[in-house]
Amino acid sequence: MSGVRRAVEFLVTRVLRSRLGIAIGIAVLVFGIIGAARLVSGPGDPTSGLSNRPNRPITTVAPTAGDDGAFSTGPPPSPVTRSGELTPEQTAKRFVTAWLGKPGTTAEQWQEDLRPLSTPALTDKLAGVDPSGVPVGQTDGDVTLQPRAENFVEVLVPLDTGRLRLELVAPDGRWLVDAVDWEQK
């Protein structure tokens, strides 16, 4: 009997007073409560709960509610041009003509031809650019205008070697090219 007494005494005086002993005691208590709850509740219904897969897709929007994307804003407003100024199409055509340049055009002359049709930001980006390294070609179709706002349009210019995409802005009604992008065929 002295062995059992020593084991109980060791358990009460040393193990249950340490952090490890307390953690083990709490774990035994939690598992005991969970086990007792399962015994009392009986067998569960296998068709309930999240373990079963749905028999059809889960939707958060009714399929008949229409487009759940960005709200419809209607067609973009028509570009506004100050009276006496060039339209976006005219500005784009003149810019493309200057962009393609003429044989023998110097870098200074090329940039000077683009300056009145460009924003100061684009003029700064093009400073020091050699026109011989710029993609060239001949226009190969009509200019396509895609209005985005009253003072912002995107213009696509087909060339025989690719497509030139221009972004034009008109904060004060005067259209200027703000960005140039080249897509090769």
Given this model, what pLDDT does residue 31 score? 94
Instruction: Name the residue ranges covered by the structural domains of the chain.
Output: 1-42, 88-184
- Which of 8-12, 19-23, 114-118 comes out lowest in average pLDDT? 8-12
Indicate the pLDDT class of residue 168, thresholds 50, 70 and 90: very high
b/e 134-172 (16+ beta carbons within 10 angstroms → b): eeebeeeeebebeeeeebbbbbbbbbeebbbbbbbbbee
Read off the tokens for 74: 């209607």
Could you tell me which CATH class the domain 88-184 is placed in? alpha beta
Encode pLDDT of 93-124 as tens digits: 999 989 888 777 888 898 999 999 999 999 99
Encode pLDDT of 32-52 as tens digits: 999 888 888 876 666 565 556
- Judged against a pLDDT cut of 90, whether residue 76 lies above it is answered with no
Name the CA radius of gyration of the chain, rounded: 38
How far apart CA 146 and CA 157 sit, in angstroms, is: 11
DSSP states of 55-117 as a string?
SS---SS-GGG---SSPP--SPPPP---TTSPPHHHHHHHHHHHHH--TT--HHHHHHHHGGG
